[in-house]
Amino acid sequence: MNPVRVLVVDDSALMRKLIPQMLERDGSIQVVGTAVDGAFGLQRVAELKPDVVTLDLEMPHMDGLAMLRELMRKHRLPVIVVSAHTREGASMTMKALGFGAFDFIAKPQDGSTHIEEIAAELVRKIKVAAQSGVGRALQLPFDFAATPPRRAKVAQASAPSKVVAIGISTGGPNTLQYLLSQLPADFPACILIVQHMPEGFTEMLARRLDEHCAISVREARSGDALSAGTALICPGNRHLRLIRRADGSLGLALSSEPAVNGHRPSVSVLFQSVAHEAGRNSIAVLMTGMGDDGAEALGSVKAAGGLTIAQDAESCVVFGMPRAAIEKGNAMRVISLDALANTLQVQCGRQNPVSALRHDPVLDPVEVRPE
């Protein structure tokens, strides 16, 4: 089997040395060249014909976003963005994903003790990108810059009819925008989302989604109550759980307990808590992403009487997480992305607000203590 050919584009001499060292420890990856800016990067793509490009965004002459747009127009190669751990870096990364980047990793910081973890993550994403290609990622109409922002929203104070829990990873920002933008402002359920993403990036994702969706979207906070027409995204590097308060209402708790299934946030933690606290009034949706986080826990929601859904292969950027759930028999329905918003609206018709339900424990929740 031929190695995956990778081109590294970064204006930092340190990164042009470090990234190839990280990648070439894996014998199935070959770094075929480097480039110091976007213009030179495009030349190197034409000359070297790599399978995958790693791309810095903040570069002189031609920055990463300009290169990415041109690359998608001419070559349509999968691109892994290597993003700065800054607010501006997170903002540019969201734009890059909208322009067609396959995925991203946070750039190693000076003195980082997580180089090995970052290297393993980058290797894994490059291999998946090479297998998946770029076509599916570009099918979704996700361009924040081209989409007019929604205007002022009227918050709903009513209790939600259902709790919708979504687990998502690679391809998530585009997919979430596509899904959430189709839901009306008076959507009767509350949506809880675990997106595999580092700290800081989830805040920028929530802000951008909120600007372009009729429902309200923001990062979740410990102590949040649930309300209809709201989507709450778990902050990066935290776990999110649904909890039952003393007055019988449902709320949220964040924690910094150890990773579950290699992830923090973990889809499994959210799904288990939703199964335990919302039971029959829950819907769990496992969407595009690598690995199997949430696949087993989806069965907890099913056992508790909730509806479980997996996104279909054709509309996933990466079919790993949904496929794992389907193979375990935990997905009651397999639905395309195009049909998912309508399915949720039909299934979430207001009947019995979940805050009024009697607490009826079915399963033991994942033990993650709230902070």
- Measured between alpha carbons, how far is 38 from 67 in angstroms, rounded to an integer? 5
Catalytic residues: 169, 196, 293
Cis peptide before 184 (omega within 30 of 0): no
In terms of Cα–Cα distance, which of 137, 251, 272, 126 is closest to 194?
A: 272
- Partners of 8 in beta bridges: 34, 54
Q: With contact defined as beta carbons under 8 Å apart, do 194 and 206 qualify? A: no
Cα angle value 219/223/227 (rounded, 5°): 70
Question: Where do we find the tokens 């909890």?
Answer: 243
- Dihedral of the alpha carbons of 68, 203, 194, 216, in degrees to the nearest 10: -110
Which residues are registered as beta bridge partners of 194?
167
- And the tokens for 300? 């907890």
Alpha carbons 76 and 58: distance in angstroms, whole number:
21
H or E element at residue 89: helix 87-99
Compute the distance between CA of residue 370 and CA of residue 357 in angstroms, rounded to an integer: 23
Cα gap 170→125, rounded to integer Å: 9
HSE-CB of 256 using CA atoms within 13 angstroms: 3
CA distance 305 to 279: 6
Pick from 87, 215, 95: nearest CA to 144 = 95
